[in-house]
Amino acid sequence: MDVKTTIMPNSSQGKEVKVACAKCIEPTKHNIMFSVDILHNYRDEISESESHQIVRCLGCDSLSLRLVRSNSEDIIETGYGEFEVDEKEELYPPRAVGRPLLNDAHFLPYQVEYVYKETHHALCSNLRVLAAIGIRVLVEAVCKEEEAEGDNLYQRINNLVKLGVLTEPGARILQGIRDVGNDAAHETKRHRPEKLGTAFDVAENLLQNVYIIPEKAHRLGFGQSESD
């Protein structure tokens, strides 16, 4: 297929776009500081465009990479008789609006922390199968760190109750998270983002209660006897 490619440096420079900010954790205005725009024109009158951009948040000054792709065949209706080209946006570092990393995640045990951060990255990148598996592995990592006993994850989660790490209602909720991970691992099921978000909320709550809050309380002297 014959194609004519045109490269246009900085044709988008100076424009403002609304982008989910990795630090502000919400959509904010960004300035396009630098761009390379590439247009592919095919002989059958189909065109594709790519805009590779460095953007700066006008709220916190953080920088991100932004890639916007579009195809002249991908048209969406925006109103009665009104249409526009459907643009697909990718951001790096990946982020999900309203989904920052936990504060004080550095208080987590090393293996738990890196599994948590990798799972967070998968969730923000909309890698739903990997995110679900990661949430299950995160629960496994907690069980391993707490030396929970059992031949499988179901038994180890229940053992966390005997160890005083979890309450029985908490264990039942974690069993549901285990099921989410199993479906992804064995059936390659892509769960809805809302379901994954809630499962990750539960996992983060587990990390807060088991590691982060106790460590912060210890550092502030809570729970120590007066003689300490």
Please report the pLDDT score of residue 43 as a whole number: 73
Give the distance from CA 176 to its chain's centroid.
20
Indicate the SS3 state at residue 209: helix
Identify which has the larger pLDDT, 211 or 100: 211
Q: Where are the domains of the chain?
A: 3-92, 105-220
**Residue 44: pLDDT over 80:** no
Tokens, residue 40? 């592919």
The structure tokens listed for 134 are: 């990661």
Kindly report the average pLDDT of the chain as a whole number. 89
Give residue-wise pLDDT tens across range 109-145.
Answer: 999 999 999 999 999 888 999 999 999 999 999 999 9
105-220 CATH choice from 1.20.120, 1.20.950, 2.60.40, 3.30.1710: 1.20.120
Alpha helix stretches (DSSP H) within the chain: 110-124, 128-145, 153-162, 168-187, 193-207, 213-220
For residue 210, give the amino acid letter: V
Is the model's pLDDT at 186 over the cut of 80? yes
**Residues 131/196, Cβ–Cβ less than 8 Å:** yes
Residue-wise pLDDT tens digits, 46-72:
788 899 999 999 999 999 999 998 887
Amino acid occupying residue 101: L
Q: Is the pLDDT of residue 227 over 60?
A: no
Whether residue 169 is predicted with pLDDT greater than 90 in this model: the reply is yes
Residue 96 pLDDT exceeds 70: yes
